[in-house]
Structures are given as structure tokens and as C-alpha cells.
Amino acid sequence: MPKIVWFNGTLMPLENAVVPAGDHAHLYGDGLFEGIRIYNGKIFRFDEHVERLYHGAKMMGFLNMMPMATMKQAILETCATSEVTEGYIRLNLTRGTGLGLDPKNIDQTPNVMIMVNTLALYPREAYETGLKVITTSFRVMPADSLDPRLKCIGRYAANIMAKAEANRAGAGEGLMLNQQGYVAECTGDNIFIIKDGVIRTPHPSCGILKGITRDTVIELAGRAGIPVEETYITMFDIYACDEAFLTGTAAEVIPMVELDGQLMGDGKPGPVTKQIMAAFREETNVGTDIPVAQKV
């Protein structure tokens, strides 16, 4: 199926897609993004992703935004044209176009890109055996510098460097701490640990992106009667836990079985992790239907 891009109202094949050289995200990272999954012809947590994008745009003071309903319709029509039934939507929104940091000196007409593609963050076997993770030397950005709920393009430079550090160590992922030394998140995922049947995950105030897959897992655990605590987690807590797993739109739900050479429990995906993974797979059957493309 074709991989396509919708850019400011124009559809084109992915290989032909370009953005203006003066795009403010290209020049300064001044933009927001969302990654959204398509499962079996349905967009997963569609409203939550688009709403988060618009909340971020309001926080960053973007002007001249298209109505949210218009954005949703553009996404649906792009997905319909692509005919992708299992895929990944990358949605980029930037402040506008022009040289210079000062927004008042640029054309503040937002640039919008909708890409329909495929993405596999980890090899399939990692979901069966689990990831080996290292603690990276890169810390998450403090919340008093940039609110971590903003899925801001420029924010991810530290995550990219942390991921490269994990790659050099031969690890599947890198764990990032905050400035106080508490566990925050991995380079592209939220983290959960299980101890004595209780699921724990870093509190949003620890400097994490409040992930939509993270929120889904908390909801699923609640339905299953598994207690969940959003709290402050230390390295000791991870080393002493029974199980651990990571979540994210790209990652989905994946076991974490080792940190810095220390096994989580017996070093295999645990029963609670497997239960959450199965519940998440079932939940992906629910979503927003992609309309059938109109043939001309």
C-alpha cells in the first residue's frame, strides 16, 4: 500500500514530500508532533492524540490554527487514500515559516504534515523475550524549563542522544532519570514496574511525557483490578522489582527484563506484564474507523 504525505492540503507520495527550508521546526525545533497507530483499519485513541496536539499548540501560542474537526477530517481522508490497515500516522504541526527566533517576525501560518507509514520500534522477538535496558547519562529536561506534557519536536534532542548511548552499549533501550535522580522515562517509552502485585509508574511531575499508551495501560489495569500507583521511583525500586515493562505508541507494550545487567525478577516477562500485553492487544480492536476512499 502507498506511503503518503498530506502537507498543507496537498497529497503526495512519501518519497516526493518536502517541507519549506524556513519551516520553524526545521530551523528551531518549534513544532509539535503525534504518533498514532492504525490497527485493522481503525485509528487507536484518535481523539486523545489530536486533542493533546491542540492543547500543546495552545500552550505554545500557535496562531491561525485550523479547526480541530478539519484536522481530524484531513487525517481520516489521508488514511483512506493510503489504504493502510496496519500502520503508523506521524502528525507534525509547526508554528510557521521564517528565519529568526521571534515569532512576530515570521509567517505564523502553521505548517501541517500528515504522514501515513509503517513503524516497528523493536524486533518482534523482543516482545517475547524482553528488552535489556541501560541507564543513560542524559537526564530529561526539567519541567520548569519546558512542560513535559508538550510533545515538542525540539525537546527530543536529549532522547536521541540517550538512544544513541544505549545503542553503543548494545542495549534495546535507555532509561533516563530526572535532575533529582528519580526515574523518569525511557528514550521513547514510559516505564512501569511491578512489585508484590502492584504496578507502579513515575508520577507526571517527574518530568515524563504523559503518554496515551501509558494512560491506556493504567485504565486496563484498573479494569482488571490490578492496583496502580503513580509515584516517585528510584533505581533501587527497579533493581528490586518483580517485573517491568515499557509503553508507547510506537513501542506498544513490551517487557523489560534487565537494567544495567541486573535481571528483573527471573529475567523473563512476568505474569502481570503478559496480562497487560494481552489486554492491550484486545483493546486495539477498538478505534475510529477509517472511511473507504472514494474512487474517481
Q: Mean pLDDT, consecutive 10-residue segments, the chain of 296 residues?
A: 88 92 97 96 97 97 97 96 93 97 96 94 92 96 87 93 97 96 96 97 94 97 97 96 97 97 94 97 95 63
Residue 246 C-alpha cell reads as 515499557
The catalytic residues are 151
Domains and CATH numbers, the chain: 4-119 (3.30.470.10), 126-283 (3.20.10.10)
pLDDT value at residue 294: 54
Q: Which amino acid is at 277?
A: M
C-alpha cell at 149: 506534557
Q: Are 80 and 291 in contact (CB under 8 A)?
A: yes
119-132: buried (b, 16+ CB within 10 Å) or exposed (e) per residue? eebbeeebbeebbb
- pLDDT value, residue 252: 96
Residue linked to cell 528490586 = 240
The reported pLDDT for the residue numbered 120 is: 84
What local confidence, expressed as pLDDT, does residue 295 receive?
A: 46
Say how far apart CA 173 and CA 184 lie, in whole Å: 14
Element (H, E) at 82: helix 68-82
In sign, the C-alpha dihedral spanning 107, 58, 157, 212 is negative
Q: What is the pLDDT of residue 296?
A: 39
| d(C-alpha 189, C-alpha 140), whole Å | 13
Question: Is residue 110 exposed (0-12), middle (13-18) or buried (19+ Cβ within 10 Å)?
Answer: buried
Per-residue pLDDT at 121 = 83
pTM above 0.85, yes or no: yes
> Residue 293: its pLDDT value, please?
67
